[in-house]
Amino acid sequence: MSTGFTSQIPKAARGRGARSNATGRYEAQQREGFDDGWTIEDPEPQQLQTTLTAEKAKVIVSRNDSPDVGFSASINPYRGCEHGCIYCYARPAHAYMGLSPGLDFESRLFFKPEAAKLLEKELSKTRYVPELIHIGGNTDPYQPQERKLRVTRGVIEVLLRFRHPFSVITKSALIVRDLDLLAQAAAQNLTRVAISITSLDRKLARSMEPRAATPEKRLDAIRRLTGAGVPVTVMFAPCIPGLNDHEMEAVLERSAEAGASGAGYVALRLPMEIKDLFREWLETDHPDRARRVMSLVRQMRGGKDYDAQWGSRMKGEGPIAALMATRFAAAKKRYGLDQGWGSLDMARFRVPPHAGGQLDLFGE
């Protein structure tokens, strides 16, 4: 899919998170555009166009056995994400497509137009046993292109028809478009939603998550979801020491006021290419804090940029990580976000009449 060549792209492509577009790690030739000082720079940042490619997926439900993820079955309607969050842990996966985890990840997107049909086929198998399906475990299911593609909505329509339990995570206010479906599912104890809010500072949020919804719109999404009876938890993720960690209590307080009933957090994770992309972004957008932030991150990761060890990769280790956990637990209790959720109703699952057609006869 890729020749291994990456064309030169401006350091600050307008509306994008990454500052570079280094070739994916699996390519034979590693190339990256750079400014050698001879090119007359355009005073206006160039705008990088988003491209969409339909992906012919064979299956739609992905499975994992990671003990600290919280779910084993998930659906990701998209590869890549136009939100452009600089810290996104899904970025390295774009290298499998022969593309860069940098700007390619947020501008060269793939979508699964047959997602709903594939899901209906999977759920109609006689051997299928229902379990929670998480929507958006990798990239955001409500990124801007979903407004017209409606892949995620199609998936939820199928899950609702089969009365199948599911959860959704997003940082997009677009989720309220599907409030009609989510409210029906919630009334049957079939769904719960997580909204990610990393900062209440519009300037920081725009820099860190350039095409995601504003903090206020995310709070409004919580308000509208909970008002319709949909249980919502707020995710303060990632929590970045020296950058946004001071906002932890404020984010939880505002989210509780909006109606959230639960909260979670994840410490900043910098696996593979993300560590270089994040450092580059810090030095460009927050040069005054770059060294301190990375120093604090390493203090949480045993002196490294990242430690992938299960059990600690989500929260970190050491005094700084311990303080972060203590503050979060206290704020969660203070604002009534420790109510917890009961299990979703697995007993309601049933294959609707004629779903899957002839395939039902053979358990396909």
> How large is the average pLDDT for residues 59-68?
79
pLDDT per residue as tens digits for the range 215-257: 999 999 999 999 999 999 999 999 999 999 999 999 999 999 9
Question: What pLDDT sits at residue 12?
Answer: 59
pTM metric for this prediction: 0.86
- Going by C-alpha positions, the residue among 163, 141, 165 that lies closest to residue 71 is 165
Longest distance between any two alpha carbons in the chain, whole Å: 68
Question: What pLDDT sits at residue 10?
Answer: 43
pLDDT per residue as tens digits for the range 122-162: 999 999 999 999 999 889 999 999 999 999 999 999 999 99
- Going by C-alpha positions, the residue among 274, 242, 229 that lies closest to residue 90 is 274
Interatomic CA distance for residues 79 and 169, integer angstroms: 15
Q: Which residues touch 176 (CB under 8 Å, ≥6 apart)?
A: 221, 224, 225
Kindly indicate the confidence band of residue 37, based on its pLDDT and cuts at 50, 70 and 90: very low
Strands 262-267 and 51-54: unpaired
Cis geometry, peptide bond prior to residue 113 (ω within 30 degrees of 0):
no
For residues 127, 132, 137, 142, the Cα torsion angle rounded to the nearest 10 degrees is 100
Checking if the pLDDT of 36 tops 50, the result is: no
Question: What pLDDT sits at residue 216?
Answer: 97
